[in-house]
Amino acid sequence: MLTAQELEKSPLFHDISYQDYREILVCFQAVQRSFRADDLIYDFSTDAVGVVERGQASVIRIDEEGVATVLEDLGAGGVFGKTLAFAGSTGDSLEVVCRRPCDVVFIDYEHILSRCSQACHRHSILVQNMLQLMAGKAQDLSRRVDVLSRRSIREKLLCYFRQLSQQTGSRTFILPFSLSTLADYIATDRSAMMRELKRLREDGSVRSDGRQFTLFQ
C-alpha cells in the first residue's frame, strides 16, 4: 500500500483519489511488492503486468550459451509483462532484475482490458494512465532501436550519447550504468567498445571521466 504522498508520485495511479486507489487495488487484485538490488522481479511466466513505481530495474535476456543482454532499462513508470513486450519467441530465458531498490505494482492485464460493465470512472483513468506509460515505453524501445540499428560501434555510441544529452538537456551527462553494461546495451564486444571510446576521446568527439561524459559533436 502506498501512502498518500507516494500516491501523488505514482505513475500508474496518477490523478486517482486515495479512496479510488484502494478500491482499485481490491477490484483489480493489484499487488504491490518491494525489491532489493539483484532480486528477481519477474520471469515472464505469468500474464501479469508490472509497473515500476520507484527505483530501477532491467529486462535481461540470457541465451542458450549463457550470454546476458540488457534488453530494456526500466525507471519509474516502466512497464513490463509477457503480454506487453518480449513475448520470448526462442529458448532464451527472460528476467526483470532489480538494480536499485524498487516498488512494483502487479496487475492482471485482463482486468485492465475487460470492458468494465459499470464503466467506472476510475477504470477509465487507470486505462488512460496505462496508455501514457505504454507510450513512454514505446519511446524507450524506439530509442533503443535507433541505437541498435546503427552500423558501427562508433555510430551506436554517438547516437546513444546524443540521446542522453538530449534527455538531460546538457552536453554533459552521467551514464545510467557501467561501461561494461553499456557495451552490453549497445550489443557489442566490450574491448572493441573501449577501443572506439578511446578514438572518440582522441579526436575530441567526447570527453569522459568515469561515467561522466561530455559530447562535442
Residues that bind DNA in the complex, under the rule CB under 7 A? 151-154, 178-181, 187-198, 210-211
Binding status of residue 17 toward a second copy by CB under 8 A: no
Contact partner, 196, from a second copy, DNA, none, Cβ < 5-8 Å per class? DNA
Q: Is the separation of the CB atoms in 55 and 37 below 8 Å?
A: no
Binding status of residue 71 toward a second copy by CB under 8 A: yes
Long-range (24+ apart) CB contacts under 8 A made by 68-76 are 68/184, 69/184, 69/187, 70/177, 70/181, 70/184, 70/185, 72/140, 72/141, 72/144, 73/140, 73/176, 73/177, 73/185, 76/9, 76/11, 76/52
Contact partner, 191, from a second copy, DNA, none, Cβ < 5-8 Å per class? DNA
Give the residue, chosen from 45, 69, 168, 212, that forms a contact with a second copy under the rule CB under 8 A: 69
Q: Which is nearer to DNA, 83 or 188 (CB)?
A: 188
Q: Which is nearer to DNA, 32 or 178 (CB)?
A: 178
Query: Side chain identity at 19, as an amino acid letter?
Result: Q
Tell me the closest approach of the beta carbon of residue 32 to DNA, in angstroms: 25
Cell of 95: 528476467
Q: Which is nearer to a second copy, 35 or 80 (CB)?
A: 80
Cell of 120: 467506472
Binding status of residue 105 toward a second copy by CB under 8 A: no
Tell me the closest approach of the beta carbon of residue 65 to a second copy, in angstroms: 10
